[in-house]
Protein backbone atom coordinates (compact mmCIF):
# COMPACT_ATOMS: atom_id res chain seq x y z
CA UNK A 1 0.00 0.00 0.00
CA UNK A 2 2.85 2.40 0.86
CA UNK A 3 4.64 1.52 -2.39
CA UNK A 4 1.65 2.36 -4.65
CA UNK A 5 1.34 5.95 -3.44
CA UNK A 6 4.75 7.06 -4.77
CA UNK A 7 3.96 5.42 -8.10
CA UNK A 8 0.64 7.28 -8.40
CA UNK A 9 2.34 10.52 -7.45
CA UNK A 10 5.00 9.97 -10.16
CA UNK A 11 2.37 9.30 -12.84
CA UNK A 12 0.54 12.49 -11.93
CA UNK A 13 3.77 14.48 -12.19
CA UNK A 14 4.48 13.00 -15.64
CA UNK A 15 1.02 13.95 -16.94
CA UNK A 16 1.41 17.46 -15.61
CA UNK A 17 4.76 17.80 -17.40
CA UNK A 18 3.26 16.67 -20.72
CA UNK A 19 0.38 19.12 -20.37
CA UNK A 20 2.74 21.94 -19.50
CA UNK A 21 4.92 21.25 -22.56
CA UNK A 22 1.83 21.23 -24.77
CA UNK A 23 0.81 24.63 -23.44
CA UNK A 24 4.27 26.07 -24.07
CA UNK A 25 4.41 25.01 -27.79
CA UNK A 26 0.91 24.98 -29.38
CA UNK A 27 0.75 23.34 -32.84
CA UNK A 28 -0.27 26.53 -34.61
CA UNK A 29 2.99 28.21 -33.50
CA UNK A 30 5.26 25.32 -34.40
CA UNK A 31 7.97 26.83 -36.70
CA UNK A 32 8.07 23.65 -38.81
CA UNK A 33 4.33 23.82 -39.46
CA UNK A 34 4.54 27.54 -40.21
CA UNK A 35 7.33 26.91 -42.72
CA UNK A 36 5.31 24.16 -44.38
CA UNK A 37 2.31 26.48 -44.71
CA UNK A 38 4.48 29.17 -46.28
CA UNK A 39 5.97 26.69 -48.76
CA UNK A 40 2.50 25.41 -49.64
CA UNK A 41 1.29 28.96 -50.38
CA UNK A 42 4.34 29.66 -52.58
CA UNK A 43 3.89 26.42 -54.54
CA UNK A 44 0.21 27.28 -55.05
CA UNK A 45 1.11 30.70 -56.45
CA UNK A 46 3.66 29.17 -58.83
CA UNK A 47 1.10 26.61 -60.01
CA UNK A 48 -1.39 29.39 -60.78
CA UNK A 49 1.21 31.27 -62.87
CA UNK A 50 2.14 28.09 -64.76
CA UNK A 51 -1.51 27.34 -65.47
CA UNK A 52 -2.07 30.83 -66.91
CA UNK A 53 1.01 30.58 -69.15
CA UNK A 54 -0.04 27.10 -70.27
CA UNK A 55 -3.47 28.42 -71.25
CA UNK A 56 -1.91 31.12 -73.44
CA UNK A 57 0.38 28.56 -75.06
CA UNK A 58 -2.56 26.22 -75.69
CA UNK A 59 -4.57 29.08 -77.22
CA UNK A 60 -1.69 29.88 -79.58
CA UNK A 61 -1.33 26.23 -80.59
CA UNK A 62 -5.08 26.01 -81.20
CA UNK A 63 -4.90 29.03 -83.51
CA UNK A 64 -2.11 27.38 -85.46
CA UNK A 65 -4.07 24.13 -85.68
CA UNK A 66 -7.13 26.01 -86.95
CA UNK A 67 -5.02 27.55 -89.70
CA UNK A 68 -3.65 24.15 -90.63
CA UNK A 69 -7.17 22.74 -90.82
CA UNK A 70 -8.08 25.62 -93.12
CA UNK A 71 -5.06 24.83 -95.28
CA UNK A 72 -6.01 21.15 -95.41
CA UNK A 73 -9.54 22.05 -96.45
CA UNK A 74 -8.16 24.22 -99.23
CA UNK A 75 -5.95 21.39 -100.44
CA UNK A 76 -8.89 18.97 -100.23
CA UNK A 77 -11.05 21.26 -102.35
CA UNK A 78 -8.25 21.56 -104.91
CA UNK A 79 -7.86 17.78 -105.03
CA UNK A 80 -11.61 17.36 -105.44
CA UNK A 81 -11.58 19.84 -108.32
CA UNK A 82 -8.70 17.97 -109.97
CA UNK A 83 -10.49 14.65 -109.46
CA UNK A 84 -13.64 16.02 -111.07
CA UNK A 85 -11.58 17.30 -114.02
CA UNK A 86 -9.88 13.91 -114.40
CA UNK A 87 -13.25 12.15 -114.33
CA UNK A 88 -14.56 14.49 -117.02
CA UNK A 89 -11.52 13.86 -119.22
CA UNK A 90 -11.85 10.10 -118.78
CA UNK A 91 -15.52 10.23 -119.70
CA UNK A 92 -14.76 12.27 -122.83
CA UNK A 93 -12.01 9.87 -123.85
CA UNK A 94 -14.31 6.90 -123.30
CA UNK A 95 -17.05 8.44 -125.48
CA UNK A 96 -14.52 9.25 -128.20
CA UNK A 97 -13.18 5.68 -128.13
CA UNK A 98 -16.68 4.24 -128.17
CA UNK A 99 -17.62 6.32 -131.22
CA UNK A 100 -14.48 5.16 -133.07
CA UNK A 101 -15.23 1.51 -132.28
CA UNK A 102 -18.78 1.87 -133.52
CA UNK A 103 -17.50 3.48 -136.73
CA UNK A 104 -15.07 0.59 -137.29
CA UNK A 105 -17.80 -1.97 -136.66
CA UNK A 106 -20.11 -0.31 -139.20
CA UNK A 107 -17.35 -0.20 -141.83
CA UNK A 108 -16.50 -3.87 -141.19
CA UNK A 109 -20.10 -4.96 -141.61
CA UNK A 110 -20.27 -3.00 -144.87
CA UNK A 111 -17.26 -4.89 -146.36
CA UNK A 112 -14.85 -1.98 -146.19
CA UNK A 113 -11.24 -2.81 -145.37
CA UNK A 114 -10.18 -1.99 -141.87
CA UNK A 115 -7.68 0.79 -141.93
CA UNK A 116 -6.55 3.32 -139.51
CA UNK A 117 -9.03 6.14 -139.39
CA UNK A 118 -7.54 9.46 -140.41
CA UNK A 119 -7.01 11.83 -137.58
CA UNK A 120 -9.57 14.50 -137.09
CA UNK A 121 -8.50 18.05 -137.98
CA UNK A 122 -6.41 19.50 -135.19
CA UNK A 123 -6.04 16.12 -133.41
CA UNK A 124 -2.80 14.20 -132.94
CA UNK A 125 -2.32 10.73 -134.36
CA UNK A 126 -2.51 9.10 -130.93
CA UNK A 127 -4.44 10.44 -127.96
CA UNK A 128 -2.15 11.92 -125.33
CA UNK A 129 -3.27 12.76 -121.84
CA UNK A 130 -2.92 16.43 -121.00
CA UNK A 131 0.34 17.20 -119.28
CA UNK A 132 0.21 17.99 -115.62
CA UNK A 133 2.37 20.97 -114.74
CA UNK A 134 4.00 20.48 -111.34
CA UNK A 135 3.38 23.17 -108.76
CA UNK A 136 6.17 25.71 -108.77
CA UNK A 137 7.69 26.56 -105.41
CA UNK A 138 7.03 30.00 -104.01
CA UNK A 139 3.25 30.01 -104.31
CA UNK A 140 1.33 31.82 -101.59
CA UNK A 141 0.10 28.76 -99.71
CA UNK A 142 3.47 27.06 -99.75
CA UNK A 143 5.22 30.22 -98.58
CA UNK A 144 2.66 30.76 -95.81
CA UNK A 145 2.84 27.16 -94.63
CA UNK A 146 6.65 27.26 -94.49
CA UNK A 147 6.60 30.39 -92.30
CA UNK A 148 3.90 28.92 -90.07
CA UNK A 149 5.92 25.74 -89.58
CA UNK A 150 8.93 27.77 -88.45
CA UNK A 151 6.69 29.53 -85.95
CA UNK A 152 5.50 26.18 -84.60
CA UNK A 153 9.10 25.06 -84.19
CA UNK A 154 9.90 28.18 -82.16
CA UNK A 155 12.23 29.58 -84.85
CA UNK A 156 10.87 33.06 -84.39
CA UNK A 157 13.42 35.13 -86.37
CA UNK A 158 13.01 32.81 -89.37
CA UNK A 159 9.23 32.86 -89.00
CA UNK A 160 9.24 36.68 -88.88
CA UNK A 161 11.34 36.83 -92.05
CA UNK A 162 9.06 34.28 -93.71
CA UNK A 163 5.87 36.18 -92.97
CA UNK A 164 7.43 39.49 -94.05
CA UNK A 165 8.49 37.91 -97.35
CA UNK A 166 5.02 36.43 -97.79
CA UNK A 167 3.34 39.81 -97.30
CA UNK A 168 5.77 41.44 -99.74
CA UNK A 169 5.26 38.75 -102.40
CA UNK A 170 1.53 38.11 -101.98
CA UNK A 171 -0.15 41.23 -100.56
CA UNK A 172 -3.48 40.28 -102.15
CA UNK A 173 -3.56 36.68 -100.94
CA UNK A 174 -6.54 35.50 -98.92
CA UNK A 175 -3.98 34.43 -96.30
CA UNK A 176 -2.51 37.93 -95.91
CA UNK A 177 -4.55 38.67 -92.78
CA UNK A 178 -3.34 35.48 -91.11
CA UNK A 179 0.25 36.21 -92.11
CA UNK A 180 0.04 39.71 -90.63
CA UNK A 181 -1.36 38.30 -87.39
CA UNK A 182 1.37 35.68 -87.03
CA UNK A 183 4.02 38.26 -87.88
CA UNK A 184 2.75 40.24 -84.89
CA UNK A 185 2.86 37.06 -82.82
CA UNK A 186 6.59 36.59 -83.55
CA UNK A 187 7.20 39.98 -81.89
CA UNK A 188 4.87 39.19 -79.00
CA UNK A 189 6.58 35.93 -78.01
CA UNK A 190 9.89 37.78 -77.99
CA UNK A 191 8.33 40.41 -75.68
CA UNK A 192 8.89 43.19 -78.21
CA UNK A 193 5.53 44.67 -77.27
CA UNK A 194 5.93 47.93 -79.19
CA UNK A 195 6.49 46.13 -82.50
CA UNK A 196 3.84 43.56 -81.68
CA UNK A 197 1.28 46.24 -80.86
CA UNK A 198 1.88 48.03 -84.17
CA UNK A 199 1.61 44.75 -86.10
CA UNK A 200 -1.61 43.68 -84.36
CA UNK A 201 -3.12 47.10 -85.02
CA UNK A 202 -2.22 46.72 -88.69
CA UNK A 203 -4.38 43.58 -88.79
CA UNK A 204 -7.32 45.67 -87.57
CA UNK A 205 -6.58 48.55 -89.98
CA UNK A 206 -6.03 46.48 -93.12
CA UNK A 207 -8.35 43.53 -92.44
CA UNK A 208 -11.19 44.76 -90.20
CA UNK A 209 -13.47 41.86 -91.25
CA UNK A 210 -10.86 39.15 -90.78
CA UNK A 211 -11.62 36.25 -88.49
CA UNK A 212 -8.33 37.18 -86.82
CA UNK A 213 -9.68 40.60 -85.83
CA UNK A 214 -10.95 39.56 -82.35
CA UNK A 215 -7.61 37.94 -81.48
CA UNK A 216 -5.65 40.87 -82.89
CA UNK A 217 -7.65 43.33 -80.77
CA UNK A 218 -7.15 41.13 -77.71
CA UNK A 219 -3.40 40.90 -78.24
CA UNK A 220 -3.21 44.65 -78.83
CA UNK A 221 -4.79 45.07 -75.40
CA UNK A 222 -2.29 42.62 -73.91
CA UNK A 223 0.58 44.62 -75.43
CA UNK A 224 -0.82 47.85 -73.96
CA UNK A 225 -1.06 46.11 -70.59
CA UNK A 226 2.60 45.05 -70.76
CA UNK A 227 3.56 48.59 -71.80
CA UNK A 228 1.62 49.88 -68.76
CA UNK A 229 -0.77 51.92 -70.87
CA UNK A 230 -3.58 51.04 -68.52
CA UNK A 231 -6.37 53.16 -70.01
CA UNK A 232 -5.60 52.02 -73.57
CA UNK A 233 -5.46 48.40 -72.45
CA UNK A 234 -8.78 48.69 -70.64
CA UNK A 235 -10.40 50.27 -73.70
CA UNK A 236 -9.09 47.60 -76.09
CA UNK A 237 -10.11 44.71 -73.86
CA UNK A 238 -13.55 46.19 -73.28
CA UNK A 239 -13.94 46.58 -77.07
CA UNK A 240 -13.23 42.87 -77.50
CA UNK A 241 -15.98 42.00 -75.02
CA UNK A 242 -18.49 44.36 -76.64
CA UNK A 243 -17.72 43.62 -80.30
CA UNK A 244 -17.14 39.86 -80.04
CA UNK A 245 -19.12 38.77 -76.96
CA UNK A 246 -19.31 35.04 -77.78
CA UNK A 247 -15.68 34.53 -78.73
CA UNK A 248 -12.78 32.96 -76.85
CA UNK A 249 -11.05 36.33 -77.14
CA UNK A 250 -13.88 37.93 -75.16
CA UNK A 251 -13.47 35.39 -72.37
CA UNK A 252 -9.72 36.04 -72.17
CA UNK A 253 -10.35 39.80 -72.27
CA UNK A 254 -12.72 39.51 -69.31
CA UNK A 255 -10.10 37.57 -67.37
CA UNK A 256 -7.49 40.26 -67.98
CA UNK A 257 -9.94 43.03 -67.03
CA UNK A 258 -10.68 41.21 -63.78
CA UNK A 259 -6.96 40.92 -63.14
CA UNK A 260 -6.54 44.65 -63.75
CA UNK A 261 -9.32 45.40 -61.27
CA UNK A 262 -7.65 43.24 -58.65
CA UNK A 263 -4.37 45.02 -59.31
CA UNK A 264 -6.11 48.40 -59.17
CA UNK A 265 -4.87 49.31 -62.66
135: pLDDT confidence band, cut at 50, 70 and 90?
A: very low
Q: For 57-104, what is each residue's pLDDT tens digit?
A: 777 777 787 776 766 665 565 566 566 555 555 555 544 545 554 554
**Alpha-carbon span 181 to 196, nearest angstrom:** 9
**With pLDDT > 90 as the criterion, what percentage of the chain qualifies?**
46
Q: Do 90 and 146 belong together in one domain? A: no
Burial of residue 73 (CB within 10 Å: 0-12, 13-18, 19+) is: exposed
CATH code of the domain in which 166 resides:
1.25.40.10
Q: What are the φ/ψ torsions at residue 182 (nearest 5 degrees)?
A: -70, -25
Domain with 83, as residue range(s), is 71-106
Q: Do 149 and 224 belong together in one domain? A: yes
Quick one: pLDDT at residue 96?
53
Lowest mean pLDDT among 45-54, 68-77, 155-164, 234-243: 68-77
Q: What are the φ/ψ torsions at residue 31 (nearest 5 degrees)?
A: -60, -30
**Cβ pair 260, 235 in contact under 8 A:** no
Asked whether residue 26 is assigned to any structural domain, the reply reads: no
Longest dimension (CA), the chain: 149
Q: What are the φ/ψ torsions at residue 48 (nearest 5 degrees)?
A: -65, -40
How many domains does the chain fold into? 2
122 three-class SS: coil
Last residue of a domain, one of 56, 85, 106: 106
Quick one: pLDDT at residue 26?
56
Quick one: pLDDT at residue 192?
96
Q: For 1-35, what is each residue's pLDDT tens digit?
A: 555 555 556 555 555 554 554 444 555 566 777 77
Amino acid sequence: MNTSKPMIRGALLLCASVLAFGCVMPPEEDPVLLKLDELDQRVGAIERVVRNESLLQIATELDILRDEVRELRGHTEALQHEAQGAATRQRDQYLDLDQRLQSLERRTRGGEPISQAPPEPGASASPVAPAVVPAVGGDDRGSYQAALEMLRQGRYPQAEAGFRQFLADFPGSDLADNAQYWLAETHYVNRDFEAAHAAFREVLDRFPNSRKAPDALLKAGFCEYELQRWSDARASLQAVVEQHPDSTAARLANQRLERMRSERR
